[in-house]
Structure 1
Amino acid sequence: MSTYVLVHAAWHTGTELEPVAALMRAAGHQVFTPTLAGNRPGDVKTTGLEEQVRSIVDFLTDTDLNDVILLGHSSGGMVITGVADRVPHRIRRLVYCNAFVANNGEAITDLVPPYYPGLLTKGDDGSIALPFPIWREAYINDADFETAQRAYDRLNPQPFKTFTDKAVLRTNPAEMTLPKSFINCTEDMALPHGFAFHPVLSAKLGLFRLVQIPGSHELCFTNPARLAQAIVEAGRD
């Protein structure tokens, strides 16, 4: 069996991936769901991308994890690319789940439509929040209203700097020798098609395994069992 570290998306914590992790553990895998710096209770909302990358590097180091299948969901893709650049010797495979794939010098704000940041609600503390109508229509469009509302109530403000900080990489993803996989949830509308996670951003991985499954951007809420299965499929040798 394998060791997985699941890195959550913006506005989430590791707790939201626990239903997925529990199903994977039941199948015999070792699974961790750390929460990124900036998303933990009491964290300042001026946290940047490099601090989030460092929080996962430190987690792998402090826990002494090796041969790890490292998954990033959505903005977590920015983090796992940075982690792979810093400690490739600890990683067995990278798995991107409808995730951002950036080259050196690119930020999330470079990979989305120019009007996207203006749709978010900015706080005085350096955070941004996702308005419910966008969440409902674009992120969790496969859920009933009650499920969408319950999930939304669990989100927390995201440090905006994690969206504007540019990736600092010695090696771009396509040139990384680590095996890579991409999970594409086919009803995901978090990005419009011209900026889509797949095939637009996934193409920047170079050689990768594609796993496609039905569902929205938020399968951790709407179908954790299918997401857990897809992660195992993406992580196999």
Structure 2
Amino acid sequence: MSVFVLVHGSWHDGSSSDDVPGYLRERGHEVHRPTVAGHGAGAPREVTHDGWVASITDYVDRHDLAGFVLVGHSWGGSVIARVAERVPDKVRRLVFLNAFVPANGTRVLDNAPAAYQELFPILAAQSGDNTVMLPFEVWRDAFIGDADLARARETYEMLTPEPLVPTVEKLDLTKFYASADVPRSYVLCGEDSALPPGDPEHGYLANARRLGTFRLVTLEGSHEVMLTNPALLANKLELAGRD
């Protein structure tokens, strides 16, 4: 039995209506799914990347967690990397799920394709509160292309605006890259085009290679496979998180 802490990605929160935790619990695992600061309906959006990280370390402390598998989806990869810097003795393994692994000293947004780097600040400037809401067309094709149109629309309604500020702060990941004490896995979804497939600089494998030695687990599915095939993802997370 493992303890999993699942850190969601952009536009999501800890109450995301997928069944991954249920499938993991059926296998006997303990599952936690905290909401990162600045996310969810009605949450204040004035937050920093340090605030993101603190919201997870505070959750870990409140629930007295240790020896857990820490999973980060999408930009959640930047969060779990910095959580591991702060509480390395509590994390058994890091699992990056089609996630950003930012190079030291870069911004999360630097690691995204040029189109997003240009679009997101424009959307934030138009929002009135410096947040980004992903256009449905991008969600439908790049993020959840393995869903039918009805499911794509249903899941889009679950999303909330994403704070821009934490994604444009330069991150000091010196400790993360200096130590490999916490084992690392990368889960790669083969039908995910949120980042350009095969892009040598911004693709998922480019992010994964920054981990050094890591376990690679692959599956078919989009960036939002937790919403389209949660049973398969739960199985793959179990493989990624095992000793």
- Output the TM-score relative to the length of structure 1: 0.95
For 1:170 and 1:59, the matched residues in 2 are separated by: 24
> Mind listing any 5+ residue stretches in structure 1 that lack a counterpart?
none
Residue 168 (1) aligns with residue 172 (2): yes
**Any residues of structure 2 matched to 1:26-175 within 5 Å, and which?**
26-120=26-120, 121-122=123-124, 123-173=127-177, 175=179
Q: Are the equivalent residues in 2 in contact too, given 1:46–1:160 (CA < 8 A)?
A: no
- 1:176-187 alignment to 2 at 5 Å? 176-187=180-191
Secondary structure in 2 aligned to 1:92?
A: strand
Q: Give the superposed CA RMSD.
A: 1.4
- Structure 2, unaligned runs of 5 or more: none
The answer to whether residue 205 in structure 2 is matched with residue 211 in structure 1 is: no
Shift of 1:166: 2.0
Cα distance between partner residues in 2 of 1:230 and 1:174: 28
- 2:19, 2:226 within 8 Å by CA — same for their partners in 1? yes
For residues 62 and 18 of structure 1, what CA distance do their matches in structure 2 show?
Answer: 24
User: 2:237 maps to what in 1?
Assistant: 231
Query: d(CA) in 2 for partners of 1:127 and 1:226?
Result: 32
CA contact (8 A) 1:183 1:234 kept: yes
- Whether contact under 8 Å (1:100, 1:108) holds in the other structure is yes
Query: How far did residue 17 of structure 1 move?
Result: 6.1
Verify: 1:14 aligned to 2:14, yes or no. Answer: yes
The amino acid of 2:209's aligned partner reads: A
In 2, Cα distance between the equivalents of 1:92 and 1:37? 23
Report the secondary structure of 1:16's partner residue. Answer: coil
Aligned counterparts of 1:211 and 1:168: Cα–Cα separation in 2: 27
- Of residues 227, 230, 235 in structure 2, which corresponds to 1:221? 227
Instruction: Pick which of 158-167 and 178-187 moved more.
Output: 158-167
| CA distance in 1: counterparts of 2:35 and 2:149, whole angstroms | 27
Alpha-carbon deviations, 1:161-184, whole Å to 9, x = none?
121122223413473321000000
Is contact 1:17-1:33 (8 Å) kept?
no
**Per-residue deviation at 1:86?**
0.6
Determine if contact 1:102/1:173 at 8 Å carries over to the other structure.
no
Quote how far apart the aligned CAs of 1:43 are. Answer: 2.2
Amino acid at match of 1:187: E
Percent identity over the alignment? 42
Moved more, 55-64 or 162-171: 162-171
* Between 91-100 and 12-21, the greater mean CA deviation after superposition: 12-21
- How many Å separate the matches in 1 of 2:101 and 2:44? 25
2: distance between equivalents of 1:141 and 1:174?
Answer: 37
Contact 1:13 1:40 in 2 (8 A): yes
Q: Does the C-alpha gap of structure 1 residues 59 and 18 become closer, same or farther in structure 2, counting only changes over 3 Å?
A: farther
Residue identity opposite 1:213 in structure 2 = L
Contact 1:19–1:220, Cα closer than 8 Å, also in 2: yes
Measure the CA separation in 1 of the matches of 2:181 and 2:71.
16
Which 4+ runs in 1 deviate beyond 4 A? none
Post-superposition CA distance 1:58-106 (Å, at most 9, x none): 1111111000100000010000000000110110000000000013311
Q: Which amino acid aligns with 2:60?
A: L
The question of whether the paired residues in 2 share the 8 Å contact of 1:100 and 1:197 is answered with no
